[in-house]
Amino acid sequence: MAIQHPDIQPAVNHSVQVAIAGAGPVGLMMANYLGQMGIDVLVVEKLDKLIDYPRAIGIDDEALRTMQSVGLVDDVLPHTTPWHAMRFLTPKGCCFADIQPMTDEFGWPRRNAFIQPQVDAVMLEGVSRFPNVRCLFSRELEAFSQQDDEVTLHLKTAEGQREIVKAQWLVACDGGASFVRRTLNVPFEGKTAPNQWIVVDIANDPLSTPHIYLCCDPVRPYVSAALPHAVRRFEFMVMPGETEEQLREPQNMRKLLSKVLPNPDNVELIRQRVYTHNARLAQRFRIDRVLLAGDAAHIMPVWQGQGYN
């Protein structure tokens, strides 16, 4: 199978055993795993740096075991809050149910809050331990082709230069909108939920209450989550007819935050973003010498509670 780009000319060549498309958590974890096995790896990432705003906020015991297996758990733990309980509240604030696992069958706390950018940075720093692993940022994968014994990747740098990578295997860790999966025409079947939620992250947590609270308010359900490093996350259901642009307007954001904060004007916003809940699964995870991993292979609604896992 060959997918060609008509304007690409070779400039710089890299030859590796495994090329990884995407320097997100899955790509970086795979690079650490392969690195400690002595496998020659090249990670290519379209962005010029790691994403620096909070995204996933939950990490479980099995994920911490995975971090332990690549020698990074001691660097990850300072960015977590262990034994993170979830409490379900009535509109008046009374707790009627909770999720509070307190066992450690796998050697680590079952539920933990965390800050994803810091943990991503730990994994990126982790690959520097291995001379056989390289990470190249500002590299857009424009095309690739498969031969019997290798995959050829065509990259474009931010300056418009062309590079060619020869790899025995390509692992696509390039997210839910995976270029690799779409290029291979692999069906990504599933559903998109009709409801959306807007996520609001705030620095210098003005509440300082621990754990996660889900207020089951029929007018507008919301989530309040305490995170490490004094970050507070709020999530509000987007109601029919509302748009992200409308909700992000200062007066509307103040109205949302006034539901949960006494002084919504005196907060330091980190970011605001609307999420759509998807549940999709790639029809195949392997196409000859190309493998799909992470969100490129499967995505699920955040309410399934998998977080970073």
121 part of a folded domain: yes
Question: Do 150 and 247 fall into the same domain?
Answer: no
pLDDT recorded at residue 66:
96
Q: Are residues 257 and 179 in the same domain?
A: no
Average pLDDT, 10 consecutive residues per value, the chain (309 residues)? 47 86 98 98 97 89 96 98 95 94 90 94 98 98 96 96 96 97 98 89 94 96 96 96 93 95 93 90 98 95 70
Do 157 and 219 lie in one domain? The reply is no
68 lies in a domain? no
Whether residue 203 lies inside any domain: the answer is: yes
Asked if residues 229 and 81 have their Cβ atoms less than 8 Å apart, the reply is no
Total of domains in the chain: 2
* Statement to judge: residues 205 and 266 lie in one domain: yes
pLDDT of residue 130: 99
Classify residue 144: in a domain, yes or no: yes
On whether both 36 and 137 belong to a single domain, the answer is yes
The confidence score (pLDDT) of residue 306 equals 67
Burial state string for 232-246 with b = 16 or more CB within 10 A and e = fewer than 16: bbbbbebeeeeeeee
Q: Are residues 263 and 293 in the same domain?
A: no
In a domain, 130, yes or no: yes
Helix ranges, the chain (H): 25-36, 61-69, 73-76, 116-127, 179-183, 244-248, 250-257
Is residue 11 domain-shared with residue 42, that is, in the same domain? yes
Does residue 273 sit in the same domain as residue 288? Answer: no
Domain hosting 125: range is 2-57+115-186+284-304
The pLDDT, as a whole number, for residue 195 is 82
Pair 204, 144 in one domain: no
In this prediction, residue 304 carries a pLDDT of 60
Q: What was the pLDDT predicted at 186?
A: 98
Q: Is residue 15 domain-resident?
A: yes
Residues 49 and 169 both lie in one domain: yes
Q: Has residue 70 been placed in a domain?
A: no
Q: Report CA dihedral (128, 132, 136, 139) to the nearest 10 degrees.
A: -160
In sequence order, the β-bridge partners of residue 13 are 164
Domain with residue 266: its CATH number is 3.30.9.10
Would you say residue 74 lies in a domain? no
SS3 145: strand
Query: Based on the domain organization, do 205 and 262 belong to the same domain?
Result: yes
**The pLDDT value given to residue 156:** 96
What pLDDT shows up at residue 10? 52
Asked whether residue 53 falls in the same domain as residue 121, the answer is: yes
